[in-house]
Amino acid sequence: MAWSEGLAMDQGGRPSPPSLNALRAFEAAARHGSYVGAAKELHVTPAAIGTQVKGLEAWLGRPLFHRLANGLVLTPEGRDVLPSLSAAFDALNGAVRAMRAVGRPRSLTIAALPCIAQLWLAPRLPDLQAAFDLDVTILTRDEQPDYARDLVDLGLYIGDAAPAGCTSVVLARDDLFPVCTPALAAGLRHPGDLAGATLLHDSVWRADWPRWLAAHGAGALRPAREAAFSLYSLALDAALAGSGVLIGHRALVAGALGRGRLVAPFGDRAVAGPPLRLIVPEGGEGMRLAPVIRWLSEGGEPGRRDGPPVT
């Protein structure tokens, strides 16, 4: 049944028993406290979630939510049924994971921040596949998935800690420091020289430059120009083209530094940032993926193709 169709009617014009889609829509909306959050999780529109919930309420004959200006609040009836529905969907997801492991034993799905997927994971992907003979799927997401519900084996995100229900392995430091082409670096002796430069950064990580400047006595500096990009990889491309000075994330600019295309004009003057973490869901396929986790945690450098088989 399509999401937009709500609940079907029987021949007498009465609502039929609720569909799995309707139950999942209510359960997700209850956890997120909004149709928008549920729609994002289930990859449908908020209107589709609302239609399913209204159909479920029509079948029940009672409201499940109080609809407020700032979100949804469960009614007593909604609070009563939510725990059992959540437990049922958790059990169903566990069963699907088990079936997936049997049907696709050599598959691996990794969720990652887009810039990490492009700049850190992609260069290592051929060697990862060669080392373990895996079919790899990469899901790029700005926010971490729900590891208990999404069919994701591992995550790659920058952060101070693992999400609830997960463990993590620190893969790389992610210190912050300016990087630019050697030609631009020739005119940069002190942090104050950045006043005449174009400062490049990711539009989400706007606090990176102020943090670094403040830590190095240049908090009041006002650059000649700034350029913000919706993707860190675009900001990196601009730096490689000589368009300005990028606030570098160590884990993401290491390749360009290693090849000498970018340099750090102020040397090791860095500000510590949250590390790059490999997120491992608890109760998942830890034994099957242990060799992959170990390979990544021990470096996973491009060109390294040794690794035990994944069975």
Q: Model confidence over 227-260: pLDDT tens digits? A: 999 999 999 999 999 999 999 999 999 999 999 9
137, HSE (Cβ side, Cα atoms, 13 Å): 10
Q: Would you say 289 and 108 are in contact if contact means Cβ atoms under 8 Å apart?
A: yes
SS3 88: helix
End-to-end CA, the chain: 37
What integer pLDDT is reported at residue 147 of this predicted model? 84
pLDDT of 282 > 90? The answer is no
Mean pLDDT of the chain: 86
What integer pLDDT is reported at residue 3 of this predicted model? 41
Amino acid at 76: P
**How many angstroms separate the Cα of 106 from the Cα of each of 101, 210, 253, 282?**
8, 45, 31, 20
pLDDT of 97 > 80? The answer is no
Amino acid at 188: L
Confidence band for 273, pLDDT divided at 50, 70 and 90: confident
> Lowest-confidence range among 89-98, 107-116, 165-174, 224-233?
89-98
What integer pLDDT is reported at residue 41 of this predicted model? 86
pLDDT of 79 > 80? The answer is yes
Give alpha helix (H) positions in the chain.
20-32, 35-42, 46-60, 76-103, 114-116, 125-132, 182-185, 208-215, 232-240, 250-258, 286-297
Amino acid at 33: G
Q: Would you say 243 and 237 are in contact if contact means Cβ atoms under 8 Å apart?
A: no
CB atoms under 10 Å from CB of 117, counted, come to: 19
Query: 97-105 long-range contacts, Cβ below 8 Å, gap at least 24?
Result: 97/151, 97/284, 97/285, 100/151, 101/285, 101/288, 104/135, 105/288, 105/310, 105/311
Confidence band for 212, pLDDT divided at 50, 70 and 90: very high
Reference 197, options 185, 207, 205; nearest CA is: 185
Q: Quote the tokens at residue 184.
A: 């631009």
Strands 154-158 vs 176-179: parallel, antiparallel or unpaired:
unpaired
Q: Would you say 26 and 52 are in contact if contact means Cβ atoms under 8 Å apart?
A: yes
Q: Quote the tokens at residue 302.
A: 């491009």
Phi first, then psi: what are they for 60, rounded to 5°? -75, -30
What integer pLDDT is reported at residue 311 of this predicted model? 36
Span 9-25, mean pLDDT? 75
